[in-house]
Structure 1
Amino acid sequence: MIHHKKRPLPLEEIAPPNICTYERVIHRQEMQHSTPAPDMPSNVDKHPEAEEKPEEQMLETEEDTDDDDDEREPMFDNTDYDHVRFDPIWYGDYPEDEIPFEIAEYLGENLEYARYLQMVGSSRTIFHMCGRPDVVRMIDDPAYVIEDEIVAIPIGCFPVSFLLSRYQEEGIFPWEHVPGLESGAVRKCSVPASVTGTGTTQDLKTLYPFSRQVSSGETIKVVRVQDNQNFSKFEKAVMAHFPDGLLQRKGTLFRGLSLLALERSLAFFLPVISSTNSDNEFGPGIYTTEALYIAKRYAGKTGAIMVFSAPDERRLKCWEPTGDEWRRLTAKWIGLPLSDIDLPPIYQTADFIKGAMSADQAKAQRQNRFLNLDDTKQIAFVSSRGCESLRRELKAIIFIEWSK
């Protein structure tokens, strides 16, 4: 699929009137607080009609929730938009007979990776579906460096939060368009020069002079691997650098992140907490998974994958939420309107939480219902002791390199 700037569309064409767009939220805030807001095109509908709520699986709340206070991402179905103006995407299914090669590569030859993904396809279409016509116009405008591209949205996150966080850290998206972030300089991060396509063991302090070591002379294995949309080929290339079987060992944990987040994590191994972290299902914490595929999707095309051995659980308190506990916990942290959330006392004292990733944050948010559990497990380290224990088990860093 060729990336190109399309004709900028009027806002009323990009965002249907029943979608609560970012610009409309800004306008309501301006009216309520009488503070300056970003310039808005004059043709934006100032009084959009309320979106009709689906009938199935509605959450029962004691009080009505005001739409103005609802910061969750608006969504509409894959069949609700014009496929002439917006390229079709895979959203649990594909609306046409044949899936394009660029999308099929992410899903796997026999759709074996589809279970790890919420959406695959044009980033322009995904922003449109999520009610962000401002980003669509940036993609269409040659003045901006952000372009339409084929992206894969993994399970366990909100699509727009996932994409904007990545674009912001890569320095291709203005900070002022990411709600909750202050404007500031964007520093481009790169793979340390000493890291090559051959796996080597190096001194962490040499790699990152501002990192904090857990022991004197701490060393880790590092390698640079070329990105490949075909995960089977990527995995094969990565495995070749670890003949000791570390990546296939039971209990090995992976964490995919950007190069900027990696550098900050090595300086202070704690979660980076901000108002945009809406994809943390168990609350603030450092999230890991035993699925290399998931870590790769979170790392993107130019990020890194941290590789850990599992900490000794005998010294830590583990909480594995039951089905009902999991639903209440995730409802709280992704912002679903639910009153009287009550969790067991172990939530307060747990060092790490072990449980399922969510399968459908985007759909659940749209339908105003509880999340569905996926079979993929994740481990979130949610205490200082838990994070410290995980940091001591860092064994390797896989740097991902991408070239057009």
Structure 2
Amino acid sequence: MPSKGFARVSLYNIQLHDAAVGVPNGVHPASFLLARYASEDKLPLPVLQKYFDGRAPTLTTAFVIPAFDIPPLVSDKPTNHQSRDLYPLNRTRDFPRHILCLRVKSKKKLEKTRDMVQEKLRGVFDFEKDDLWFRGMNVKALMLSMSFFVPVISTSNSDEFGPGIYASNDFDEGAKYAHPQGALMIFKNPDFRDLSVWETGKDEWNNLTATWLNIYKKEVKISDSHIDADVIKGPLSSDQHEARKRGRYPTQSEITQITCVSYDSCGALANSLVAIVYFHP
């Protein structure tokens, strides 16, 4: 028992309840939880200071966004949204500030989904006459594209014109990569006037696709136009798998595809983005 003075004792009524809390990667769990409870006034600051030896950290706020889901702002009615509101991590300056967005429920058949999209966007686009280009993907790939709009290099893909950002002039061709759960980017009138656009002839197309599809042909020779091209434009093949299997040139379809193969052309395509359609089951 002390003979002189008094011992100061502080009592705190701390009540914490069981809860599952996600801790960000690279953060010490105890420090994260203590700082969080202090910011919510569930933990007295002196207790926090005691843990940190008298040096309590500055309380910060972390925002967790559904990065790989359909953005919450998107509805089943065509609505313009700021791209930064849709994707706060968007750092590609070439995208327009506002983007038209639409969420639609996928039908079992892609054709019915297409008809519904065209009906909802009637008056916004003329799908028969407008210069529209379509690129479909899953929502994770879309989020990554909105952050950095460049092609992802893969050794296992079957891109006919090599690495690049692809889009086709056919709604169904683009949408099949997004259906039944994904996103379809719609581009209108991409401005390639100051860029080198290589429109492949039949022999050039044969040699280019055979090279990138790894179809051995002894007489293959790539055109010099490939070296300086910013955009490659040509038909989409209709029987890629069969051509590879039999070691022959693919057959050209009626669908046209463009491939942006330079930073300038990727930027020009990004600038022409006018709408994103989200499919959900």
Fold in common (TM above 0.5): yes
Structure-2 change in CA distance of 1:215 and 1:358 (3 Å)? closer
- Tell whether 2:120 aligns with 1:228: no
C-alpha contact 2:231 2:262 (8 A) present in aligned 1: yes
1:366 aligned to which of 218, 239, 245: 245
- Report Cα offsets for 1:155-188 as digits up to 9, x if no partner: xxxxxxxxxxxxxxxxxxxxxxxxxxxxxxxx99
Is residue 134–residue 170 contact of structure 2 (8 Å, CA) maintained in 1? Answer: yes
User: Could you say what secondary structure the match of 2:193 adopts?
Assistant: helix
C-alpha contact 2:111 2:172 (8 A) present in aligned 1 = no
Give, in angstroms, the shift of residue 233 of structure 1.
Answer: 2.1
What residue is the counterpart of 1:399 in the other structure? 278
Q: Secondary structure at the match of 1:287?
A: strand
Compared CA separation, residues 331 and 217, structure 1 to 2 (3 A)? closer
Q: Which residue of 2 aligns with 1:345?
A: 224
CA separation in 1, counterparts of 2:94 and 2:136? 24
Q: Describe the shift of the 1:199–1:361 C-alpha distance in structure 2 as closer, same or farther (beyond 3 A).
A: same
Whole-Å separation in 2 of the counterparts to 1:236 and 1:228: 10
In the alignment, the residues of structure 1 paired with residue 178 and residue 239 of structure 2 have an alpha-carbon distance, to the nearest angstrom, of 20
1:255 to 113, 117, 135: 135
Q: 1:294 to 1:218 in 2, by over 3 A?
A: same
Q: Which runs of 4+ in 1 moved over 6 A?
A: none
Of the three residues 138, 154, 157, the one matched with 1:274 is: 154
What is the aligned partner in structure 1 of residue 164 from structure 2? 285
1:241 paired residue number: 120
* CA deviation map 1:310-344 (0-9, x unaligned): 22232121111111111110011011123463222
Change (3 A) 1:316 1:202: same
173, 189, 194: which one pairs with 1:294?
173
Structure 1 residue 247: Cα displacement = 5.0
Amino acid at match of 1:268: F
Residues 34-72 of structure 1, C-alpha deviations (whole Å, 9 max, x = no match): xxxxxxxxxxxxxxxxxxxxxxxxxxxxxxxxxxxxxxx
Gaps of 5+ in 1: 1-186
Question: Residue type matched to 1:332 in 2?
Answer: T
Instruction: Give 3-state SS (helix, strand or coil) of 2:249's partner.
Output: coil
The answer as to whether partners of 1:204 and 1:213 remain within 8 angstroms in 2 is: no
**Unaligned regions of 5+ residues in structure 2, if any?**
1-65
Q: Which protein has greater RCO, CA pairs closer than 8 Å, 6+ apart?
A: 2
2:222 is aligned with 1:305: no
TM-score, scaled to structure 1:
0.51
Alignment-mate amino acid for residue 227 of structure 2: Q
Distance 1:213 1:285 in 2: 17
The number of residue pairs the alignment matches comes to: 215
Structure with bigger gyration radius = 2
2:191 and 2:272 in contact (8 A); partners too: no
- Give TM-score scaled by structure 2 length: 0.72
Give the drift of 1:348. Answer: 0.7
Separation (CA, whole Å) in 2 of partners of 1:344 and 1:367: 24
Question: Which among 122, 145, 161 is matched to residue 265 of structure 1?
Answer: 145
Cα distance change of structure 1 residues 266 and 188 upon mapping to structure 2, 3 Å threshold = closer
Contact persistence 1:259–1:303 (CA under 8 A): yes
Shift of the 193–288 alpha-carbon distance from structure 1 to 2, 3 Å rule, reads same
Written as runs of structure 1 = structure 2, the 5 A alignment for 1:13-162 is none
Distance 1:378 1:216, change over 3 A: closer
2:263 counterpart of 1:384: yes
8 Å contact from structure 1 (residues 281, 333) kept in 2: yes
Q: Per-residue displacement from partner, 1:263-321 (whole Å, max 9, x unpaired)? A: 111101000112122x2100001111111011111213111000111222321211111
Q: Check whether the contact 1:205–1:213 (CA below 8 A) recurs between aligned residues.
A: no
